[in-house]
């Protein structure tokens, strides 16, 4: 294990706002948060200490690949996840302010992350989840009165916990999307080679990113998605996938000793055409063949489905030889249920 290297584990922030046709906001702005101008977003990202490197949009949302991970902007929802030593929580106050200028009121906030590989390299307050929660709570309006923080610690690997803080104005969640966050470490060395630049393509991030997408098999995880990808120099990779109103994102730090990859997507369990969650996860994890996998699944407005959890475990065991070593569940008022599963190969 390296003494210090690039921190792959991301910090993730999701802010949801009351819909434009809700009586609390009562304006006629179907574009909502998408009307925030790029210069304003860039200023927020500057505070966080990252920049936009690529972007794509469709009728439903805007997707930005960042120098450190990703940003998604929907009419009433913003998702921003950043890796390295970024200062993600500095984005909360200005984003709430920009939304307020558009007549949108904050409805809910969720902040989550895994356990850092290099925790001592993080700046304050990210060296302590308690400190992070304190900063978030001080930043949020008092109207978000249903609050909870939790550290979900697997018994098989206490150093790989899942940290969650939620705050909501409502006791019932308004979010109908199930969010799946996958964190992978100890990537297969052969598979990880796909995410190193080849000689001769140093000057073309666009073609290098597309080659990484194709060689690794990422383009087959969801064949319906339009992929906006980016190759870093000399190694590393990020992509955002756009499929109707559904997003997906992958980030890869391939260096041996602190290799890491993440996959995240938002989907509905009961909509046809978006794929079986277990099969999607199997394809994503198979790209990297990691030695350790954790999956955090957040059920918002949809009820927790135990059969889905069990099916994920069966499919990963059958197709990839991964055994579920720990399964934890916690409920968050106004923000749904989180299930946290940890996997390692059967041979371990």
CA distance 263 to 221: 10
CA distances from 344 to 52, 241, 289 (A): 34, 27, 10
pLDDT tens column, 38-85: 999 999 999 999 999 999 999 999 999 999 899 999 999 999 999 988
CA distance 94 to 84: 21
pLDDT tens column, 192-209: 999 998 876 655 667 899
pLDDT tens column, 289-326: 999 999 999 998 667 888 889 999 999 999 999 999 99
Give the residue ranges of the annotated binding site for substrate.
6, 68, 232, 255
Instruction: Name the residue ranges covered by the structural domains of the chain.
Output: 11-345
Strand duo 162-168 + 146-152: pairing? antiparallel
pTM over 0.95: no
- Annotated catalytic residues are 69, 83, 238, 251
pLDDT tens column, 211-243: 999 999 999 999 999 999 999 999 999 999 999
Q: How confident is the model at residue 23, as a pLDDT?
A: 40
CA distance 144 to 162: 22
pLDDT tens column, 135-163: 999 999 999 999 999 999 988 788 889 99
The answer to whether the Cα torsion of 298, 127, 47, 234 is positive or negative is negative
Contact 316, 322 (CB under 8 A): yes
For domain 11-345, is the CATH number 3.60.90.10?
A: yes
Q: How many helices (H) and strands (E) does the chain have?
A: 7, 16
Q: What pLDDT band is residue 173 in, cutting at 50, 70 and 90?
A: confident
What number is the average pLDDT over the span 315-343? 94
What number is the average pLDDT over the span 94-104? 96
Q: What pLDDT band is residue 24 in, cutting at 50, 70 and 90?
A: very low
Q: What pLDDT band is residue 2 in, cutting at 50, 70 and 90?
A: very low
């Amino acid at each position: 294990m390296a003494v210090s290297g690039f921190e792959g584990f991301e910090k993730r922030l999701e802010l949801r706002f009351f819909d434009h046709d809700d009586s609390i906001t009562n304006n006629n702005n179907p574009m909502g948060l998408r009307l925030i101008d790029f210069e304003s977003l860039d200023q927020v990202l500057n505070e966080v200490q990252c920049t936009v490197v690529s972007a794509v949009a469709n009728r439903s949302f805007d997707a930005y690949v960042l120098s450190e991970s990703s940003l998604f902007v929907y009419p009433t929802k913003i998702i921003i996840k950043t890796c390295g030593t970024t200062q993600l929580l500095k984005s909360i106050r200005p984003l709430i302010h920009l939304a307020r200028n558009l007549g949108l009121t904050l409805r809910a906030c969720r902040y989550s992350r895994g356990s850092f590989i290099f925790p001592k390299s993080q700046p304050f307050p990210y060296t302590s989840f308690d400190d992070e929660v304190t900063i978030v709570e001080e930043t949020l309006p008092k109207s978000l009165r249903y609050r909870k923080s939790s550290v979900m610690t697997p018994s098989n690997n206490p150093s790989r916990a899942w940290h969650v803080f939620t705050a909501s104005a409502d006791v019932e969640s308004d979010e109908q999307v199930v969010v799946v966050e996958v964190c992978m470490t100890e990537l297969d060395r052969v598979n990880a080679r796909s995410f190193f630049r080849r000689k001769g393509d140093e000057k073309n991030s666009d073609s290098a990113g597309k080659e990484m997408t194709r060689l690794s098999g990422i383009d087959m995880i969801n064949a319906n998605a339009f992929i906006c990808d980016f190759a870093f120099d000399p190694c590393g990779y990020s992509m955002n996938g756009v499929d109707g109103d559904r997003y997906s994102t992958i980030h890869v730090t391939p260096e041996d000793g602190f290799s890491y990859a993440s996959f995240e997507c938002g989907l509905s369990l009961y909509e046809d055409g978006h794929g079986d969650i277990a099969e999607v996860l199997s394809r994503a994890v198979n790209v990297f063949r990691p030695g350790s996998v954790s999956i955090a699944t957040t059920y918002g407005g949809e009820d927790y489905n135990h059969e889905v959890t069990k099916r994920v475990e069966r499919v990963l065991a059958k197709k990839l030889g991964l055994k579920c070593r720990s399964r934890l569940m916690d409920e968050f008022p106004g923000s749904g249920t989180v299930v946290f599963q940890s996997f390692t190969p059967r041979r371990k």
